[in-house]
Amino acid sequence: MTIYSETLVIGSGPCASHVADNLAEQGIGVTWVTGNVTDAVNTIALQPPARVNRVQGSALVGCQGQAGSFRIILDQGGVRTAHGVASIIVAEEALYLPNFSEYGLQASRRVVTLSAIEAKARDVALESLIPPEARVVFLNGWRRDSHPAIAARMLAFCLRLQKISTARTVFMTGNLKVSMDHMEACCQAAKAAGAIFVKFGDRVPRMAMLDDTRVQIDYHDETSGMDFRVSADLVIVDETVHAHPSLAGIAEILRLERDATGFLQADNVHRLSNSTNRRGVFVAGGSRAVAGAEQQKADAGQVALQVVEFLAGRDRESLRTVDIDQGRCARCLTCYRLCPYMAIDISPRMTVVAQACQSCGLCAAGCPNQAIRMSDAGVPEAIEALSRIEGNPARSVPFTPRLAIFGCNRSAALAREAAFALGHKLSAGVTFVEGLCGGSFSVNHLLKAFEADADGVLLLSCHEGNCHSGTGTSHARKRCAEAAKALSWAGVEPQRIHYGTLSASMGCEFVQVVDDFVTRIAALGPLTR
Amino acid sequence: MMSSDRAFKELFVNLKGKQGVVIGAGVAGLTAAAALSRWGVQVWLIDKAPVIGGHAIQFSCKAIEGCVQCGACQVHERAQQVSRQKNITFVPGARIVRSRGNGRLELTLAASGQGAGQSAGRFPDTLNADALLVTTGFTVYDPSHKPYGYGQFANVLTNLDAERILHATGALARPSDGRLPRRMAFIQCVGSRDHRIGHDWCSKICCGSALRMARLVQSRQPGTAVTFFYIDVQSFGRQFQAIYDGCRERIRTVRAIPADIRKTADDDMQVTYFDPQDRNATDAVFDLVVLSAGLTPTADNAVLASVLGMRLLENGFFCPHDNDTQPPGMFAAGAALGPMSIAESIDSAGKAAFDMVRYLDGGRLR
């Protein structure tokens, strides 16, 4: 397999430019595709950094292969070219849509978006833009809350207008967002300069267009409890932040997870900061819902470090080797479907691509022929250790159940340590079996524990939405249900298997769930074989 | 073009054997230390506390059925990663009392006086550093200055007190009698957005923390009525609108900051506030009140900055290191720069690590 050293940066705006620049500075070859011209949200003419091969007006249309050896196809005006890259960084800008409809307004000479007025103010002096003594109303986050980055820009423009022009500004908002640096101070300064702040309560303002095209707004101010009317010479309307429309296609081509709002990264703390579900594919800036110019620039820095770490093979501690026993493999494609990281290559034979694998063990646990072996997993040995628990708790009086707790090394294993740190102790007879993921335990593992004299089996995985492998949690839950069904077929109480979710910080909850399970199994009594 | 392979080797050679000092072992310090160590930098991770993990190691997970992205688990996971790295040395219970040199620094350490006897306090007297990162985080505002009876009334807690209780016990009971509260109140912006005391900043994390905590308590302790006193609700995370909309169905929100709290004979808390609906001073009785105490600059920022020759902002937080505003080789990240969530601290530390690698590689910063 050819391992490439080039990288691909996708994006039409400043964030992609920063990423390309940062990578080029480290001596890394960069191809920068700017997307179709119609997709471009930032129409500024960006100069490509030196050493960057910018392919303007081009888009990614195909991708095969894995981390280190992606084979991509670019389309530029109908001409398709193939390239080999080691890593792909999606740094497309977010899409900002004007919020007119929210307020029942339409764009006009007197009703403009924040971006439009900001752009004009860059070229023209404020005095010529805003008539003297004009009443300027800012509409921000009325029915739906405003994005703090939009509110920050609005507030900064309001302050500027109030301070250096004769305009009289009114800032109307639902929740005034001040959760970005210096916003509260900016708000205080605007108030001191004479800007009026109005907060919508549950009563919605009424807007009407006057004959002279001014906008009349009747509103109820929640703070003073009074009704007011303002006739605005200029209304500045906020914008909403969305995932760029090109991200849907990019996600499909690169087989990436998206969050509920379409951004190119699952909303999962294990993806922090710039990871995706695929090794070698990173996401930055507006493609992962980072808004604000400074924040995007910072993101372009940290993503570059992560890309360099990946290219240099320094992004993980040690590689577990995963082998598919070709003699046992029936090419059923179960592993291919299970792998959340797209690390299984299917031709010419089924293989696990080490560069792309993140050692979650989902494939090995799901393989119906048990053809996949992971080095250093240690689960069978841990299960076997169950039968060697000293003394025989089963014969002790009162009965102390012998339990196997299967847990993910990212959550339950750490919760167990947190419990010890809080001074808790576990019941005697409990053996903890640490796995790479909640989904790394097979039905076979769970049943083997009973063969090794367990009276009960508890499987603890991460909360839904917190699983590093994405689907490990749901696989764990299903396998528990399957194993419980197998138990009842064998005439054993299915309650002897229990499934739960925990996170790394849940030390006392770990003890509670284990204690509850001990009580349940103690009530059931020893498992008679 | 230089082949990438050669570039990495050079970068690694340039960084290997360099020494980095990270001051503060909270989530930002842990993240940056791990990133530096991956490049072969020998990292000394210093903290005045006897334990690793900063404030957030004592935070509770807010998941109900699914994860709500509070980030508390990330501190535990990152602490474990750091403990596995051979080239990171955790130095608990220590502070820096002197710094000499330009470029390569010689730092003198002394015992912080925190957790004496627990950590055995054995660490080198001096350390050399080719680059230094300040991740000293924040100090929570002391609400005993406010008329809420904090410190006098057992059933008035700060958000961090509540986090610690939830983390240690899994439930939020009244400290006075151990009873589970039926009527709880959260009061936001205690020591934040407070112009009179010079705190012209939003603490950013409290709305997310309080609303997630309210939902967790209502889920674990069904039937708990929650009232949320606020000025403006601040966004948190990508699921903000969904979580906030869900909260508004279950939680009474009152856009007012209470004037004071008095104790009743039953150890209940009588909260007086100006009701924005009927526009009158109103009393409401709660059995537990959580104050969302703001994030303020760490108490010893001024001392540390003067020892290191670093700059602070007017508000007392550290000045960002961009644009040569800090001495060469000195960097700052996380809540030392201003209030930040766990996710934002991770971002900030990642960016600082990038800047530090570039500096250590060529001794330059842009």
CB of B37 within 8 Å of a chain A CB? The answer is no
Cβ within 8 Å of A, B 102-161: none
Question: In this complex, do B351 and A298 lie within 8 Å of one another by their Cβ atoms?
Answer: yes
Instruction: Check residue A112 and give its pLDDT.
Output: 95
Chain B residues within 8 A of A416 when measuring between CB atoms: none
Question: In this complex, do A175 and B233 lie within 8 Å of one another by their Cβ atoms?
Answer: yes
**CA-CA distance, A128 to A106, in Å (whole number)?**
23
Phi, psi (deg, nearest 5) at residue A344: -100, 125
Best of A2, A305, A310, A410 to disrupt the B interface (most B CBs within 10 Å) is A305
Q: Using DSSP, how many helices (H) and how many strands (E) does chain B show? A: 8, 18
Question: In this complex, do B238 and A261 lie within 8 Å of one another by their Cβ atoms?
Answer: yes
CB of B6 within 8 Å of a chain A CB? The answer is yes
Question: In this complex, do B355 and A464 lie within 8 Å of one another by their Cβ atoms?
Answer: no
Structure tokens at B54: 């900063």
E strand intervals along chain B: 19-23, 42-46, 88-91, 94-100, 105-111, 126-129, 131-134, 138-140, 156-158, 183-190, 225-229, 251-254, 260-263, 269-275, 280-286, 288-293, 295-297, 330-332
Instruction: Check residue B110 and give its pLDDT.
Output: 92
Question: In this complex, do A302 and B353 lie within 8 Å of one another by their Cβ atoms?
Answer: yes
CA distances from A141 to A99, A104, A146, A200, A290 (A): 9, 14, 4, 9, 19
Structure tokens at B178: 């151990």
**CA-CA distance, B300 to B293, in Å (whole number)?**
19
DSSP type of residue A57: T
Instruction: Examine the pLDDT at B8 and tell me if it is beyond 70.
Output: no
Domain with CATH 3.50.50.60 in chain B: 4-138+297-360, 140-295
Chain A residues within 8 A of B236 when measuring between CB atoms: 179
Instruction: Examine the pLDDT at B65 and tell me if it is beyond 90.
Output: no
Nearest CA in chain B to A23: B4
What does pTM read for this prediction?
0.94
Nearest CA in chain B to A285: B347
**CA-CA distance, B162 to B160, in Å (whole number)?**
5
Best CA proximity match to A319, nearest among A353, A272, A277: A353
Chain A residues within 8 A of B279 when measuring between CB atoms: 225
Question: In this complex, do A5 and B69 lie within 8 Å of one another by their Cβ atoms?
Answer: no
| 3-state SS assignment for residue A143 | coil
Residue A492's CB: how many other CB atoms inside 10 A? 17
CB of B55 within 8 Å of a chain A CB? The answer is no
Q: Which residues of chain A have pLDDT under 70?
A: 1-3, 36-50, 316-319, 376-377, 389-397
Best CA proximity match to A171, nearest among A118, A100, A114: A114
Classify domain B4-138+297-360 by CATH number: 3.50.50.60
Instruction: Examine the pLDDT at B191 and tell me if it is beyond 70.
Output: yes
Please, which residues bridge with residue A80 across strands? A75
Stretch among A450-464, A498-512, B102-116, B167-181 having the lowest mean pLDDT: B102-116
Instruction: Check residue A367 and give its pLDDT.
Output: 95
Higher pLDDT, B182 or A225: B182
| 3-state SS assignment for residue B235 | coil
CB of B202 within 8 Å of a chain A CB? The answer is yes
Instruction: Check residue B117 and give its pLDDT.
Output: 47
Question: What is the percent of chain B with per-residue pLDDT over 90, rounded to a whole number?
Answer: 81
Best of A179, A183, A416 to disrupt the B interface (most B CBs within 10 Å) is A179
**What's the 3-state SS for A437-471?**
CHHHCCHHHHHHHHHCCCCEEEEEECCECCCCCCC
Best CA proximity match to B55, nearest among B302, B340, B314: B340
Question: In this complex, do B76 and A317 lie within 8 Å of one another by their Cβ atoms?
Answer: no
Question: In this complex, do A505 and B353 lie within 8 Å of one another by their Cβ atoms?
Answer: no
* Amino acid at residue number A159: L
CA distances from B329 to A27, A39, A137, A179, B103 (A): 23, 41, 46, 30, 6
Residue with tokens 């592993």: A335
Question: In this complex, do A309 and B201 lie within 8 Å of one another by their Cβ atoms?
Answer: no
Going by pLDDT thresholds of 50, 70 and 90, the confidence category of residue B7 is: low
CA distance B153 to chain A (A): 26
**CA-CA distance, A12 to B97, in Å (whole number)?**
48
CB contacts < 8 A (A, B): 196
Cβ within 8 Å of A, B 16-35: 35
| 3-state SS assignment for residue B170 | coil
Chain B residues within 8 A of A301 when measuring between CB atoms: 350-351, 354-355
Question: In this complex, do B67 and A465 lie within 8 Å of one another by their Cβ atoms?
Answer: yes
CB of B353 within 8 Å of a chain A CB? The answer is yes
- Cβ pair B132, B308 in contact under 8 A: yes
Classify domain B140-295 by CATH number: 3.50.50.60
CA distances from A104 to A99, A116, A197, A239, B154 (A): 9, 19, 21, 14, 51
**Stretch B141-164: mean pLDDT:** 96
Residue B281's CB: how many other CB atoms inside 10 A? 10
Question: In this complex, do A267 and B238 lie within 8 Å of one another by their Cβ atoms?
Answer: yes
- Cβ pair A296, A18 in contact under 8 A: yes
A123 CB-side CA count, 13 A: 4
Q: What percentage of chain A's residues is helix, strand, coil (to nearest 5)?
A: 35, 25, 45
**Burial class, A391, CB count within 10 angstroms (exposed 0-12 / middle 13-18 / buried 19+):** exposed
Instruction: Examine the pLDDT at B1 and tell me if it is beyond 70.
Output: no
CA dihedral B335, B341, B347, B351 (to 10 degrees): -10
Nearest CA in chain B to A268: B69
Nearest to B1 among A29, A177, A317 (CB): A29
Best of A257, A267, A310, A505 to disrupt the B interface (most B CBs within 10 Å) is A505
